[in-house]
Structure 1
Amino acid sequence: MFLHKLILLVVSLILVTKNVNSERILAMVMIPSYSHQMFYQPLWRELAIKGHDVVVITTDPTNEVLPNFKEIGIKESYPTMKKFLDEMINTTMLQNIWENKWAEVSISLTEFQFNLPQIQELIHNKSEHFDLLIIEHFPSPAFGLQYRFNCSMIGVVSLDAMSVSHEIMGNADHFILYPSAILPYQEDFTFVQRIGALMFGVVVNYMQYASFGMYTDLARQYFGKDMPPIGDIIEKTDMLFVNANPVFSQVRPYTPSTISIAGGMHMKAEKPLPKNLKDFLDNAKDGAIYFSLGSNVRSNELSMNLRKIIMETLAQVPYPVLWKFENDDLPGKPDNVMITKWAPQQDVLRHKNVKLFITQGGLQSLEESLYSHVPVVVLPFFGDQEANADKVNRKGMGVALDRHNLNVEDFKKAIFEVMENPSYRNTVKQMAIRIQDTPRTPLENAVWWIEYVLRHKGAQHLKGPRIPFYQYYYLDVIFVLGATVSTLIGLLILSVKYICRGVCCLMKCNKTKTTKKEKVKKN
Structure 2
Amino acid sequence: MRLPLLLCLLYYFLCDVDGLKILVCFPLPVKSLSILGEGVVRNLLVAGHEVTYITVYPLKNPPKKNFRQIDISSNTAFVAGDHMPSIEFILNNKVEKTPSRDIQLFGQEAARMTLNHENVTKLLEDPNEHFDVILSDLLETELYSGFAVVYECPMIWVYSMGAHWQVLRMIDVAPSPAYDTDYLSSNTIPLSFAERVDELWTRIQWQFYKTFFTQPEERRIYEAVFGAALAKRGRALPDYEEVIYNASLIFANEHDAVRNRPSTPQNFKYIGGIHVEEPVKPLPKDLQDLIDNSKHGVIYFSMGSFLQSKTLPRKLITELLQMFGEFKQTVIWKFEDNSLVDVPKNVQIVNWAPQQSILAHPNVKMFLTHGGLFSSIEAIHFGVPTIGIPALFDQITNVNKAVLNGYALKVELSHDLAKDLKAAIGTMLSDDRYTKKVKELSALYHDRLTKPGPALVYWVEHVVRTRGAPHLRSPALHVPLYQRLYLDLLAIILTTTFAFVLLLRRLCKKSNATKYDQKKTN
Change in 2 beyond 3 A, CA 1:479/1:302: farther
Letter in 1 for 2:200: L
Partner of 2:66 in structure 1?
68
Contact 1:358–1:377 under 8 Å retained in 2:
yes
Cα displacement string for residues 458-485 of structure 1 (whole angstroms, at most 9, x for unaligned residues): 1233211223444434455456556766
Q: Relative to 1, partners in 2 of residues 1:480 and 1:179: Cα closer, same or farther, differing over 3 Å?
A: farther
TM-score when normalising by structure 2: 0.84
> Which ranges in structure 2 are unaligned for 5 or more consecutive residues?
1-9, 229-235
Q: Residue 378 of structure 1 corresponds to which residue in structure 2?
A: 388
- Alpha-carbon contact 1:326-1:340 (below 8 Å) kept: yes
- Counterpart residue type for residue 85 of structure 2: D
Amino acid at match of 1:36: L
Matches within 5 A, 1:267-416: 267-304=277-314, 306-404=316-414, 406-416=416-426
Deviations 1:419-452 (A, max 9, x none): 2211101111111111221111111111111001
- Name 2:143's counterpart in structure 1: 141
- Residue matched to 1:5: none
More deviation, 85-94/417-426: 85-94
How big is each residue's C-alpha offset from its partner over 1:225-258, in whole Å with a ceiling of 9 and x where there is no partner? 6534443221111111112234215332221111
- Corresponding residue for 1:110? 111
Q: Check conservation: 2:165, 2:175, Cα contact below 8 A.
A: yes
2:76 counterpart (57, 73, 78):
78
1:369 to 1:456, Cα distance in 2 relative to 1, 3 A: same
Judge conservation of contact 2:96–2:391 (CA < 8 Å) in 1: no
The answer (yes or no) to whether the contact 1:93–1:383 under 8 Å persists in 2 is no
Q: What is the rounded CA distance, in whole Å, between the counterparts of 2:57 and 2:460 in structure 1?
A: 22
Partner secondary structure for residue 122 of structure 2: helix
Q: Which residue of 1 aligns with 2:56?
A: 59
CA distance in 1, matches of 2:408, 2:46: 39
| Whole-Å separation in 2 of the counterparts to 1:419 and 1:469 | 52
Corresponding residue for residue 420 of structure 1 = 430
* Larger mean Cα displacement after TM superposition, 472-481 or 132-141: 472-481
Q: Between Structure 1 and Structure 2, whose CA radius of gyration is higher?
A: 1
Q: Which amino acid aligns with 2:484?
A: Y
- Cα distance in 2 for partners of 1:78, 1:488 equals 67
Does the aligned pair in 1 maintain the 2:252–2:271 contact within 8 Å? yes
- 2:446 and 2:303 map into 1 onto residues whose CA distance is 25
Secondary structure of the residue that 2:368 maps to in structure 1? strand
Instruction: Provide the alpha-carbon RMSD of the alignment.
Output: 3.3
Matches within 5 A, 1:95-244: 96-97=99-100, 100-138=101-139, 139-209=141-211, 210-224=213-227, 227-244=237-254
1:103 deviation in Å? Answer: 3.0
Which residue number in structure 2 is paired with residue 472 of structure 1? 484
Q: 1:30–1:57: 8 Å Cα contact kept in structure 2?
A: yes
Give, in angstroms, the shift of residue 75 of structure 1.
2.4
Equivalences, count: 490
CA contact (8 A) 2:316 2:415 kept: no
Residues 143 and 230 of structure 1 are in contact (CA less than 8 Å); yes or no, is this contact kept in structure 2?
no
Match for 1:103: what amino acid?
Answer: Q
Distance in 2 of aligned mates of 1:416 and 1:253: 38
> Partner of 1:46 in structure 2?
43
Does the aligned pair in 1 maintain the 2:164–2:181 contact within 8 Å? no
State how far apart, in whole Å, the 2-side matches of 1:41 and 1:293 are: 21
Structure 1 gaps of 5+ residues are: 1-11, 510-523
Contact 1:172 1:254 in 2 (8 A): no
Give the deviation of 1:81 after TM superposition.
2.9
Contact 1:267 1:368 (8 Å CA) reproduced? no
Task: Indicate if the aligned counterparts of 1:158 and 1:242 stay in contact, CA closer than 8 A.
Answer: yes
Sequence identity (%): 26
Change in CA separation of 1:336 and 1:130 when aligned onto 2, cut-off 3 Å: same
Instruction: Output the amino acid matched with 1:118.
Output: N
Measured after TM superposition, the shift of residue 148 of structure 1 is: 2.1
What TM-score, normalized by structure 1, do the two folds share? 0.84
- Looking at structure 2, the residues matched to 191 and 485 of structure 1 have their Cα atoms a distance apart, in angstroms, of 33
The alignment partner of 1:169 has SS state of: coil
Q: Cα deviation per residue 1:244-286 (whole Å; 9 max; x = unaligned)?
A: 2342153322211111112455333123211222232223211
Q: Cα 1:229–1:360, aligned 2, differ >3 Å: closer, same or farther?
A: farther
One-letter code of the match for 2:179? L
Q: Is 2:134–2:153's contact at 8 Å kept on the other side of the alignment?
A: yes
Q: Amino acid of the residue matched to residue 121 of structure 2? A: Q
* Whole-angstrom distance in 1 between the partners of 2:492 and 2:335: 62
Flag the 1:392–1:383 CA change in 2: closer, same or farther, 3 A: same
CA 1:279 to 1:149, structure 2 compared with 1: closer, same or farther past 3 Å? Answer: same
2:472 alignment partner in structure 1: 462
Distance 2:207 2:503 in 1: 42
1:480 to 1:265, Cα distance in 2 relative to 1, 3 A:
farther
Alpha carbons 1:133, 1:146 under 8 Å: kept: yes
Of 225-234 and 279-288, deviating more is 225-234
More displaced stretch, 220-229 vs 318-327: 220-229
In structure 2, do the counterparts of structure 1 residues 128 and 264 end up closer, same or farther at CA, with 3 Å as the change threshold? closer
| Contact kept in structure 1, 2:356 and 2:378, CA below 8 Å | yes
- Alpha-carbon distance, 1:140 to partner: 4.4
Q: Deviations over 1:166-212 (max 9, x none)?
A: 01111551112222222212312111111111111222233334412
SS in 2 for 1:290: strand
Classify 1:273/1:221 alpha carbon distance in 2 versus 1 (closer, same or farther; 3 Å): same
Describe the superposition over 1:56-76 as per-residue Cα deviations: whole angstroms up to 9, x where unpaired: 111233333242222222223
Deviations 1:121-144 (A, max 9, x none): 211111111121111122143332
Q: Deviations over 1:284-309 (max 9, x none)?
A: 21121100011111111123454355
Q: Which residue of 2 aligns with 1:520?
A: none
Partner SS for 1:37: helix
Distance 1:307 1:206, change over 3 A: farther
Q: Could you tell which deviates more after superposition, 211-220 or 66-75?
A: 66-75
Closer, same or farther: CA 148–312 of 1 in aligned 2, 3 Å: same
Q: CA deviation at 1:110?
A: 2.8
Q: d(CA) in 1 for partners of 2:25 and 2:452? A: 20
Q: Is the 8 A contact 1:324 1:341 kept in 2?
A: yes
Whether the 8 Å CA contact 2:332–2:349 is kept in 1: the answer is yes
